[in-house]
Amino acid sequence: MKNLKKISVVGMGLLGASVTLSIKRDLPNSRVVGYSHRPQTRQKARQYGVAHEIVETLEETVENADIVILATPILTFKDYFANMAPCLKTGAIVTDVGSTKTLPHRWASEHLPKGVHYVGSHPIAGSEKRGLEYARDDLLTGAACIMTKTTGTHAVSVRILEEFWARLGCAVKVMSPARHDKIFGMVSHLPHITAAALVNSNKTQDLELAGRGFIDTTRVASGPANVWSDILMTNTPTCIEGIETLIGQLKLIQKAIQSGDEKKVKKLLEQAAAKRAKMIQHKIDQKELF
């Protein structure tokens, strides 16, 4: 992708630094620049060599950049858009790696100047670990990357970004931000809420006897609280509805147990096992799981 001379990433956490490492590996003709608002993180990013250059200011980060990628908590996007607006070159593509997309699209349209093109991105990759010391240049390999566009999104920029993520090893899908947030509210944000609620339902002392089942069911609850509260706060309608749906399903099982309806309990468990088996088979067919 020879037209991408400079690609900048704002935010040097696990995902941001994995993106810069992937660019270094897969796009040898691009210069990748990293930035964090924390001096300590910039220093660490230099030590680990996650980008060609770690710069000191947001201005240096975005000036002349062909692509700027936000990899910070979602609620910071609005300010970043406003602050980078005067420094972006005409034709620059701005994207992000945030887990919700409706509000970023709105904020971009409010704060980015004409001639700068925002497209949403959400690479489905991460870890419950945090920090650039866990960054890996293969974190994106084989991962799905959902890109989002509205009717007003610049078509050429969508195509460039599609190629960009594909070059980093992602399987790209494009959809509207509304559809993205509805689906991921259910398959990602609701599981996070569920895992946290399940841990909070238990006594610390009892957890000493928890087995592998509990550990796996709640793994995501160890994710960074600030990142996740931003995700939930920017996808409120689906989260609220999703919790309601889940409570309905929990009550179905509860009622069946309470009324001694063993057949119904078994049926509900079988339904879940069958649905999950179908999901796993799909992922094996798609070579997303082996």
Interaction residues for its own copies, span 141-160 (CB under 8 A): 144, 146
* Backbone φ, ψ for residue 229 (5° rounding): -65, -35
Q: Does 194 bind its own copies (CB under 8 A)?
A: yes
Taking CB under 8 A as the criterion, which residues in 40-99 touch its own copies?
Answer: 75
* Nearest of 137, 134, 62 to residue 95 by alpha carbon: 62
Distance from C-alpha of 154 to C-alpha of 137, rounded to nearest angstrom: 29
CB of 232 to its own copies, least distance (A): 6
Compute CA distances 243 → 10, 41, 53, 137, whole Å: 33, 36, 43, 35
Which among 60-68, 85-93, 147-155, 182-190 is the span making contact with its own copies, rule CB under 8 A? 182-190
DSSP string, 159-201: HHHHHHHHHTT-EEEEE-HHHHHHHHIIIIIHHHHHHHHHHHH
Q: Does 210 bind its own copies (CB under 8 A)?
A: yes
Distance from C-alpha of 44 to C-alpha of 36, rounded to nearest angstrom: 10
CB of 133 to its own copies, least distance (A): 17
Q: Does 233 bind its own copies (CB under 8 A)?
A: yes
User: Which two tokens mark 83?
Assistant: 């602050």
Task: Give the number of C-alpha atoms closer than 13 A to the C-alpha of residue 164, restricted to the C-beta side.
Answer: 29
Q: Does 27 bind its own copies (CB under 8 A)?
A: no
Distance from C-alpha of 238 to C-alpha of 85, rounded to nearest angstrom: 30
Nearer CB in complex with its own copies: 58/124: 124
Q: Does 245 bind its own copies (CB under 8 A)?
A: yes
Nearer CB in complex with its own copies: 118/228: 228
Which among 12-20, 79-87, 90-98, 258-266 is the span making contact with its own copies, rule CB under 8 A? 258-266
Nearer CB in complex with its own copies: 80/228: 228
Q: Does 202 bind its own copies (CB under 8 A)?
A: yes
Residue from 35, 164, 165, 228 in contact with its own copies (CB under 8 A): 228
Which among 46-54, 79-87, 108-116, 190-198 is the span making contact with its own copies, rule CB under 8 A? 190-198
> Based on the number of CB atoms within 10 Å of its own CB, is 238 exposed (0-12), middle (13-18) or buried (19 or more)?
buried
CB of 255 to its own copies, least distance (A): 9
Can you say how many angstroms the Cα of residue 165 is from the centroid of all Cα atoms in its chain? 14
Residue from 1, 87, 174, 220 in contact with its own copies (CB under 8 A): 220
* Beta pairing, strands 53-54 & 67-70: unpaired
Residue from 49, 187, 284, 287 in contact with its own copies (CB under 8 A): 187
Distance from C-alpha of 69 to C-alpha of 10, rounded to nearest angstrom: 6
Which among 26-34, 100-108, 157-165, 217-225 is the span making contact with its own copies, rule CB under 8 A? 217-225
Say if residues 219 and 129 touch (Cβ distance below 8 Å): no
Q: Does 1 bind its own copies (CB under 8 A)?
A: no
Taking CB under 8 A as the criterion, which residues in 32-51 touch its own copies?
Answer: none
Q: Does 188 bind its own copies (CB under 8 A)?
A: yes
